[in-house]
Amino acid sequence: MSLADKVLAVNNDLPIRSDLPVHSGKVRSVYWLTEADSRRLIEEKGYNVAPDSPLAIMVISDRISAFDCIWHGEGGMNGVPGKGAALNAISNHWFKRFREEGLADSHILEIPHPFVWIVQKAKPVMIEAICRQYITGSMWRSYEKGERQFCGIEIADNLQKDQKLPELLITPSTKGILENIPGVPAVDDVNITRSDIENNFAAFNFRNKDDIDRYETLLKEGFDLISDELSKLDQVFVDTKFEFGYVTDQNGDEKLIYMDEVGTPDSSRIWDGPSYREGKVVEKSKEGFRQLLLKHFPDPDILLNKDRMVERQALAKNNPLPESVLMEVSKTYLDIAEKITGETLTLSENPKAEIIEILRNQYGLID
């Protein structure tokens, strides 16, 4: 079996029973279960959710996106070997640690396969919560141009690139396009301030104003937990994105939970500690792949300039990357996953066949 066969690139064609179309994102696909199957599994498995909660099967893929495009390699390699399993393993590890430390639950109810989560439907808080511990990336580029206010927070002069910030900075942005919020443009991923959230908490799906404090506490505590554990591995937790939502448990109580993924190389920047102390940044996350693409193509402006999106999509579609590039990315993801979890990740020979067999035989979700 070739390496390309071990890559799960297409994850929206599984024969899982569902009444709704499959929702496919850049990396994950979501299959909403029928009402009957959701109720049956809640009863059979004893999940701590309301009996009428909609459940879904979330299947990760090995696809890799950067600069809003999906990239592929030579020889039919349409993803990065081991990437999906690495992302899920890392998220599973942090969600479990959050639960053990009494922070909050996640949307995951069960993990039947390294590529698969059984999740409960959450009402999402419409905020991408970015936490920054160092000044780098887009924030540094804005700072260099003279910007000193980020999401309503004033930061000091004379900071250096990649320097640690005096305190953890929360720079939220909108998740999706939100209409009719005063002072907030109706575009995806626009920066917002804490007062924007306070003045329009219901528009962002917060249940009440007090939950804004709860969300900030969960952000900081989650960030600190990951940062502390990574520092023990001599890795630097630079910045990350958290997402939250509300779910109802079997007692009918609504609670705020972590959702999406957490602390992964896709949603975070992680640097190698020893290299950083020597004044050199070595990326242990997807940022390394982005930098690699910027060097690989002769006109990096195509990747950075939003007005050249059509050219960018053509670039990604028509330029298979060398296998060596994807294998380098694979090594980054597998290495950091094994460091964090303390376990060796073995690549599935045929992930799709394994998933179908498990969901058919153990969960009765495939006819």
| Domains in the chain: boundaries | 3-122+342-361, 123-277
Mean pLDDT across the chain: 95
Contact 192, 126 (CB under 8 A): no
Class of domain 3-122+342-361: alpha beta
Q: How far from 156 is each of 121, 129, 149, 167, CA to CA, in Å? A: 41, 22, 9, 11
Given a cut of 70, whether residue 1 has pLDDT beyond it is no
Between CA 105 and CA 357 the distance in angstroms is: 29
Specify the DSSP class assigned to residue 75.
G
Query: 123-277 has which CATH code?
Result: 3.30.470.20
210 CB-contact burial (10 Å; exposed 0-12 / middle 13-18 / buried 19+): exposed
Split at pLDDT 50, 70, 90, the class of 57 is: very high
Average the pLDDT over 301-316 and give the result: 95
Q: Do domains 3-122+342-361 and 123-277 have the same CATH topology?
A: no
Tokens for 275?
A: 């290299």
The CA-based diameter of the chain, rounded to the nearest angstrom, is 63
Given a cut of 70, whether residue 243 has pLDDT beyond it is yes
Q: Residue 347: its pLDDT value, please? A: 85
Q: Positive or negative CA dihedral for 26, 273, 98, 344? A: positive
Given a cut of 80, whether residue 338 has pLDDT beyond it is yes
Q: How far from 76 is each of 57, 303, 306, 323, 326, CA to CA, in Å? A: 27, 23, 28, 10, 12
Average the pLDDT over 292-316 and give the result: 95
Contact 333, 91 (CB under 8 A): no
Given a cut of 90, whether residue 278 has pLDDT beyond it is yes
**Which H or E run contains 20?**
none
Given a cut of 70, whether residue 117 has pLDDT beyond it is yes
Split at pLDDT 50, 70, 90, the class of 83 is: very high
Given a cut of 90, whether residue 269 has pLDDT beyond it is yes
